[in-house]
Amino acid sequence: MAHLLTYRENLDSLTQQSRFRQLRSRQGIDFASNDYLGLASSERLTCAAENALARNVALGSGGSRLLRGNDPEHEVLESEAAAFFGCEAALYLSSGYAANLAVFATLPQREDTVFYDELVHASALDGMRLGRANCTAVRHNDASAFEAAIVDWRRGGGKGAPWIAVESLYSMDGDQARVEDLAAIADRHDGFLVVDEAHATGVMGARGRGLTETLEGRHNLVTLHTCGKALGCEGALLCLPSVLRDFLVNRARSFIFSTAPSPLMAAIVREALRIVEDESERRERLWAMVRHGERAFARSGVVPTGSPILPLILGDDVRTMEVAGALQEAGFDVRGIRPPTVPAGTSRLRISLTLNASEADVTALGAVLEEVLQP
């Protein structure tokens, strides 16, 4: 039909650029997921679901939380999460995307400015587009650049509060933000610090609380802990001062007008937090695998990041997908990442190390990768 032609032409353009996306079933050894601790199919989470069903926890909520959808499981999870992450209050939402949308579309006010890392999550950028505050991109992972940008803004007549928005562990590069330096900058300029802990929750920090573990309880800190990555579940927890939680409940459209998350899932997330608390050996095994992976992939040019995320930047889109395809054919689920997910010219393999693979699998992948990359 003629009115669909524009869409077909757009998709054809993506195909010509080797950027056409397709859904594919999971195959091969997991080097692609964010299930870092291997919890998604763990026995403890399965038992938690069974036990919750046995005590008649509902699968569906039946409505938004401000109508009839609020369930005791949501409230208990939020209370336990606040204690776990050392914050004043927590709010459970359906996804990390919905949580970022709620924060950035709602909390920064009209005279405020959001200073965001140029590689921050797309969901944060979408939230900013819906918000009322001005927004300024800042050079990636450069704390001094954040301070300089705020100083320039103030000198130019900037009013309101500065909001510093970063990820703690960047999903495509595997590098880490200097959260303590950024917190000090927020303090000096009467601002707020928003840290997306999506890829650090359960993995980073001495107790698996993320890289903001040392900043717990600060009045000007908002952290986002997704439940669908290392926690192996679904949804997201915002940890923040009580007054900001109440403001979101009253003003955040992605919270107010969304059906509440499954009470059953809330019960399972509670168990995931207990696993992080109880089973520190999972993190120890993961970090042993990270060290092993850094050795196994070194000859292929993979640079250590100090995290389970190990990118290999190949640059060219077509070459990236060819290498990823060869690894998949060999039985390793490694995915190619292309623009616009990453900046132009930085197409890469994103090797994700999880407890769903073994050290022997890592060694085998290293050997195949080295072979595939041969000219």
CA atoms within 13 A on the CB side of 299: 13
Burial class of 164 by CB neighbour count within 10 A (0 to 12, 13 to 18, 19+): buried
Among candidate residues 42, 95, 100, 171, the one labeled active-site is 171
Backbone angles phi, psi at 29, to 5 degrees: -75, 135
Given phi > 0 = left and psi -120 to 50 = alpha, else beta, which region is 105? Answer: alpha
Q: 196 an active-site residue? A: yes
Q: 294 an active-site residue? A: no
The length of the chain is: 375
Among candidate residues 73, 147, 167, 317, the one labeled active-site is 167
Q: 9 an active-site residue? A: no
Q: 56 an active-site residue? A: no
Among candidate residues 229, 258, 347, 361, the one labeled active-site is 229
DSSP letters spanning 176-193: B--HHHHHHHHHHTT-EE
Among candidate residues 173, 196, 234, 361, the one labeled active-site is 196
Residues 95, 167, 21, 324: is their CA dihedral positive or negative? negative
Among candidate residues 71, 94, 121, 271, the one labeled active-site is 121
Among candidate residues 42, 199, 225, 258, the one labeled active-site is 199
Q: What angle do CA 353, 371, 305 make, to 5 degrees?
A: 30
Residue keyed to tokens 């930085």: 346
Burial class of 15 by CB neighbour count within 10 A (0 to 12, 13 to 18, 19+): exposed
Q: 121 an active-site residue? A: yes
Q: 34 an active-site residue? A: yes
Q: 159 an active-site residue? A: no
As annotated, the active-site residues are: 34, 121, 167, 171, 196, 199, 229
